Amino acid sequence: MAATRPVGPTVAEQPAPAKRRNENARLAVLNAADDLLVERGFDGLTIEGIAARAGVAKQTIYRWWKSKVDILYDNLVLDAEDALAWPEPAPGASYTVAELRGYLHRFALFLGTAPAGRVLQALLGHAQLDRRTFDLLHTGFLGELTARDTERVRQCLAGLVPGAGGQDGAGAGAAEASALLDALLAPLYYRALLARGPIDPALVDAALDEQLALALARSTPGV
């Protein structure tokens, strides 16, 4: 992982030297956790190993995180801020199918090949056995991501399918968008979690085209 990940205060805040050293240590811990997860897997990842790789004391790690799950979760959130961002539409414009297509391709790369994808896969697996991890992941990261993406998809449908957008994300528009998002992401999760390899971009395009055709058919009278 590159050592330029933005963590902590911005340059404009001009942190004191001691604060800057703390943030350097925090960044080292996050990077070490990512590297060790790829090398050793979730079970082989330990606080002791992270501390040794990062060159910090265990007490330093426990000052910021309760467990390795919390470290991985912070990594996931930080990486997703850029990797899973949507471009801002022009003022007064809504999101388009082209932007949805681009997002799905970025999501496939994130989930199938990026180190952050390995973090998400590890947390999803552990969440099946640990209730705290389940709540942290689904109430936090995945819940917020799904809510945001459902609204983006609703806007895409509103511009493509007459009457599919609903009003303010409520009613049938939000339900249609949620169902479409599930149908688009399900094969990506399946390939990443079970096939454990890169996701073919052609699969992304085929799934989107098929689901949009179905949405159009449902909205056309007499079809």
**Same structural domain, 122 and 51:** no
**Same structural domain, 20 and 86:** no
> Considering only 56-70, 72-86, 101-115, 155-169, which range has the smallest mean pLDDT?
155-169
- Report whether pLDDT(6) > 90: no
Q: For residue 36, give both structure tokens.
A: 């060790």
pLDDT score recorded for residue 11 = 30
- Report whether pLDDT(81) > 80: yes
The 10s digit of each residue's pLDDT in 129-178 is 999 999 999 999 999 999 999 999 999 988 776 555 554 444 458 898 99
Residues 6+ apart with CB under 8 A from 120: 76, 110, 111
In the chain, how many domains are there?
Answer: 2
Q: Which stretches within 113-163 are classed as H helix?
A: 115-127, 131-135, 142-160
**Same structural domain, 76 and 61:** no
* Greater model confidence, 66 or 112: 66
CATH code of the domain containing 48: 1.10.10.60
pLDDT score recorded for residue 83 = 93
**Same structural domain, 78 and 57:** no
Chain centre distance of CA 167: 27
The 10s digit of each residue's pLDDT in 192-215 is 888 777 888 999 999 999 999 988
pTM, 2 dp: 0.81
pLDDT score recorded for residue 2 = 42
The 10s digit of each residue's pLDDT in 36-69 is 999 999 999 999 999 999 999 999 999 999 999 9
**Same structural domain, 109 and 184:** yes
| Mean predicted lDDT score pLDDT of the chain | 84
pLDDT score recorded for residue 201 = 93
| Domain of residue 93, residue span | 70-219
Task: Find out whether 102 and 184 touch, Cβ atoms under 8 Å.
Answer: no
Residue 55 within a domain: yes
Residue 172 within a domain: yes
DSSP letter (8 states) at residue 85: P
